Chains A and B, each alone.
Chain A
């Protein structure tokens, strides 16, 4: 091929579309990468494929109906979403939740953290290229947890079990014993996954020094949760702004040093172990009997006019509920501050300059759920 005089070969960055249909398990998310050879030059994330108008719908649902929708905005950390929502309403209505209900809430939330992190472990192994071993190991553990949740709430995934003021109904009689069983199995599962992935040289080579994100950048982007802790900021809402009964437990917060993908993985692995510690303490401190709703529980849930911002530490980060009420039984404005949304906004900064193969690892390490991003 002979080039005519005056023509030059134009070198452009190749746009690559990782379309809404992903072989990975992250959900409907579209990323357009511009690559120069093997290096990513630009990333444009496109979200909104799962936008269901949640905040508008919540304005039409009263404070009991809204719990069902809160589940669906965070389908891997449902109890945390429910907790954020009911906590906001309880603060507005100035309700005191009885201790037994609080302890059960904490136990269920931490079990939910375990199941969400197991999901992360499974999906992350697949992103790294493990054929499916991590996935099945993780999901065996998730099955145990989901079975337990089904015994208590009647549903495997969308629980709608918390209510404003406490819980919907009493837990099963063998709750404590069942939770101990599940914890034992989960500990074995964590050990299995740890042995499979943590010290694996190829895995380490794929994860270390990939997507490093400094603490300053993370704070500027509003990142929260394990991503923020992996970047070196020792911030956990259970420690720094404790809610429910989290101020009654001794546990530890893992904090990373480099903010790369490996640190995020290690932080989540360690968090699972700490969750087990918290659950064991909660089981010891659980009052064996007691009410699960306050005595003076109003029959109609009407909040006074006011606004509140309630936040919980979900497995992904800070799940916040900004509830504005003008009186009445429905919110006037309900904004769900979702951790995945804020974490995902930092994707561009994290991925530019990395290799193409690392883009998948970085996205996997952020552990987003699209329902939370899009609401």
Chain B
């Protein structure tokens, strides 16, 4: 029973896709709710704490308790909020995030809708959410929300570009914009080996797209008050929070597929759906744990530092990555040239980021003025 591949036995293709979509949506909702549990436990352990322990064994019923609480909360609405913008923003953020799952191949057989340009589709759909932030910021009729919305939109748009360019480098190598084909390409070596610079840029831009710390200006700052979501309470607010986790899943999956080899590396498609799912999930989890770890350890960047980092550092380096890929492809260099050039670029990026912070003259250390005992007991 366990080894038989679960298939949805419906003949009509559209209905099959619809059933698949429903299953995926339900599963991902539960998965995302438990992502909150996962995050709270892991981040808590990094902070000398335990996380949820009371609701159910190991606090496993905590997400359900949270959901119940948020459902019965009073539905507040600011009196001067723009009715259409304020209501729609929730959906404008939530729906595109779930739309991405249509093109995500969890295993070799489990794909709702095979698209020849699925990578482009995924990026396009996840980029739609910035409209929701603008709607929320404007519709809330609050200065904090407005500031948060503006900053969110600026951040999301700015970090789209290096994300796209890094993935464009991958597309150049694999000659395909289909995530499925990219995974199949990686049967011997995952793309992270050939594109370390692209990987680093993707990772940074992904954290910014998901709006996790250290790039959580829209949701954490705005004068330390909560940003765009200030005027939302109860179930609406929880939908925003869940969207943040859904985005995290989407980008983790994308990273796992594009750079780490997905379900193909290292065992290949011969090993059955169980192993493939396990590989997908574990590679995705690597990314998720990395996001959580970064959240617990790093403070927040300031808006202008964030923007200058995107435009002055990430975009030039992602363009450099494309250029280097182009050189390697045009001159038919062996594959190892990819690793060397991209590796050098990655080191250059690390060095630039390091220098960016410690620029200017070296800081004078504290002076220590000694005090000597002047009398004795």
Interface residues of A (CB under 8 A from B): 14, 16, 18, 22-24, 38, 99, 125, 127-133, 135-137, 140, 196-197, 200-206, 208, 234, 236, 238-239, 242, 245, 247-258, 262-263, 266-267, 270, 285, 287, 355-360
Q: Cβ of A206 and Cβ of B301 under 8 Å apart?
A: yes
Given contacts A239-B371, A287-B377, whether A202 and B301 have CB atoms under 8 Å apart is yes
Q: Cβ of A248 and Cβ of B376 under 8 Å apart?
A: yes
Q: Cβ of B375 and Cβ of A200 under 8 Å apart?
A: no
Q: Which B residue's beta carbon lies closest to that of A257?
A: B364
Residues of B within 8 A of A285 (CB): 377
Residues of A within 8 A of B223 (CB): 16, 18, 356, 359-360
Q: A262 CA to B301 CA in the complex, in Å?
A: 15
Q: Cβ of B47 and Cβ of A247 under 8 Å apart?
A: no
Q: Cβ of A14 and Cβ of B368 under 8 Å apart?
A: no
> What are 12 inter-chain pairs, A to B, with CB distance below 8 A?
A130-B300, A135-B47, A202-B357, A204-B358, A234-B367, A248-B373, A253-B368, A257-B366, A258-B364, A262-B363, A285-B377, A358-B302
Interface residues of B (CB under 8 A from A): 43, 46-49, 143-144, 213-214, 216, 220-221, 223-226, 295-305, 353-354, 357-358, 363-364, 366-377
Q: How far is the CB of B356 from chain A (nearest CB, A)?
A: 8
Residues of B within 8 A of A358 (CB): 302
State the 6 A-B residue pairs at the shortest beta-carbon distance, nearest first.
A129-B300, A128-B299, A129-B299, A201-B357, A136-B47, A252-B368
Q: Which A residue's beta carbon lies closest to that of B353?
A: A201
Residues of A within 8 A of B216 (CB): 129
The contact of A247 among B43, B220, B375, by CB within 8 Å, is B375
Additional 12 contacts, C-beta under 8 A, given A202-B298, A251-B370, A256-B367:
A16-B144, A16-B223, A38-B303, A129-B214, A133-B47, A133-B296, A140-B48, A202-B300, A205-B305, A247-B374, A253-B370, A262-B363
Given contacts A253-B368, A257-B364, whether A205 and B47 have CB atoms under 8 Å apart is no
Residues of A within 8 A of B358 (CB): 201, 204
Q: Cβ of B224 and Cβ of A253 under 8 Å apart?
A: no
Q: How far is the CB of A247 from chain B (nearest CB, A)?
A: 4
The contact of B299 among A130, A251, A263, A356, by CB within 8 Å, is A130
The contact of B143 among A16, A132, A208, by CB within 8 Å, is A16
Q: Cβ of B224 and Cβ of A360 under 8 Å apart?
A: yes
Given contacts A250-B373, A255-B368, whether A205 and B301 have CB atoms under 8 Å apart is yes
The contact of A250 among B295, B299, B304, B372, by CB within 8 Å, is B372
Q: Cβ of B366 and Cβ of A256 under 8 Å apart?
A: yes
Q: Cβ of B48 and Cβ of A137 under 8 Å apart?
A: yes
The contact of A133 among B297, B354, B371, by CB within 8 Å, is B297
The contact of A136 among B48, B297, B305, by CB within 8 Å, is B48
Given contacts A247-B374, A250-B372, A357-B221, whether A255 and B48 have CB atoms under 8 Å apart is no
Q: How far is the CB of A310 from chain B (nearest CB, A)?
A: 20
Q: Which B residue's beta carbon lies closest to that of A33?
A: B223
Q: Cβ of A250 and Cβ of B371 under 8 Å apart?
A: yes
Q: How far is the CB of A8 from chain B (nearest CB, A)?
A: 22
Given contacts A131-B43, A140-B48, A201-B357, whether A125 and B363 have CB atoms under 8 Å apart is no
Q: Which B residue's beta carbon lies closest to that of A267?
A: B366
Q: A32 CA to B334 CA in the complex, in Å?
A: 62
Q: Cβ of B46 and Cβ of A133 under 8 Å apart?
A: yes
Q: Which A residue's beta carbon lies closest to that of B372?
A: A250
